[in-house]
Amino acid sequence: MVRSIPSKPLWSADFLERIRPGFALSAALHIGLLMALAYCLAFHPAVQLQPEPPVDIITMTQASPSTPPKSQLTPTFQPDRAPVIEEVHTTVGTLPLPPRDSFDRTPPTMVTTTEPPSPTVIINPKPIYRGGLIYPDKAADRGVPGYVDFSFIIEPDGSVGDPQVIAEVPDGYGFAAAARKAFPKWRFAPKLVNGKPVAAPAQIRVTFKLM
């Protein structure tokens, strides 16, 4: 017994339901390709041919020599005449020659003296005793100070020898006379040479001041 298989129509609802996704995908792909092709055709830049660069044509011509105007050939600068210099006499008289140096190697003459060397002067020696100095009345009444410079010899015993006044400031108030009376009584420490006292020249200033 043969069973007959019922035939189904080709475009049944079931068949269409299964192939619907494939149609949709295919349609989408075709639409996309068409849009891409249209975009490329619409926005593709046209190829333009670059024109060839122009060829420069250089024409050689021979220039004819031109003669400069006469105003350029004639110089306009006129130099001044050289000044006239008077005649200069160049006669030179005889010049005296310097004396010739002596080349003799004679040793210089040595001169010896037997004079003893001058002794050292003691300036402002310190006295070990001073006294008897009286202020002059004339200077005291007017309140005038002053001083007297002496040159003398410090003897080996320390006494004053040969006192000499070498300066009096101010003059005329009696400072020198008052100093001459008192200064010979002063005493000084004598100068020692090899431990022995010797006479020595000295200078000292005797000062007068009101207290």
Enter the tokens of residue 181. 């009376």
Reading the chain (211 residues) residue by residue, the pLDDT tens digits are 555 555 555 556 666 677 677 777 878 888 888 888 877 777 655 555 566 666 556 666 665 556 655 555 555 666 667 666 666 555 656 666 666 666 566 666 666 666 667 778 999 898 999 888 999 999 999 999 999 999 999 999 999 999 999 999 999 999 999 999 999 999 999 999 999 999 999 999 999 998 7
Which tokens is 154 given?
A: 């410090």
Going by C-alpha positions, the residue among 164, 112, 171 that lies closest to residue 139 is: 171
Assess if residue 37 is contained within a domain.
no
Cβ-proximal residues to 134 (8 Å cutoff; 6+ apart), any chain:
178, 181, 182
Determine the pLDDT at residue 210.
Answer: 87
Q: Residue 49: what are its φ and ψ, rounded to 5°? A: -80, 130
Amino acid 181: pLDDT: 94
Is 104 domain-assigned?
no
In a domain, 67, yes or no: no
Residue 14 placed within a domain: no
d(CA 210, CA 172) in angstroms, rounded, equals 17
> Across all residues in the chain, what is the average pLDDT?
77
Instruction: Report the pLDDT value the prediction gives residue 152, as an integer from 0 to 100.
Output: 97
pTM for the whole structure? 0.46
Whole-number Å distance between alpha carbons of 149 and 167: 5
Q: Are 148 and 206 in contact (CB under 8 A)?
A: yes
Listed in sequence order, the DSSP H helices in 63-204 are 70-73, 137-142, 175-182
Question: How far, in Å, CA of 154 to CA of 197, rounded?
Answer: 10
Question: Is 16 part of any domain?
Answer: no
Residue 48 lies in a domain: no
Q: Which domain does 152 fall in, by range?
A: 122-208
13 phi and psi angles, rounded to 5 deg:
-65, -35
pLDDT at residue number 78: 67
CATH of the domain at 157: 3.30.2420.10
> Looking at the 3D structure of the chain, how many domains does it have?
1
In a domain, 55, yes or no: no
The closest alpha carbon to 133, from 112, 118, 150, 108, belongs to 150
Q: Collapsing DSSP states into helix, strand and coil, what is residue 90?
A: coil
Q: Can you count the helices (H) and strands (E) in the chain?
A: 4, 8
Is position 160 within any domain?
yes
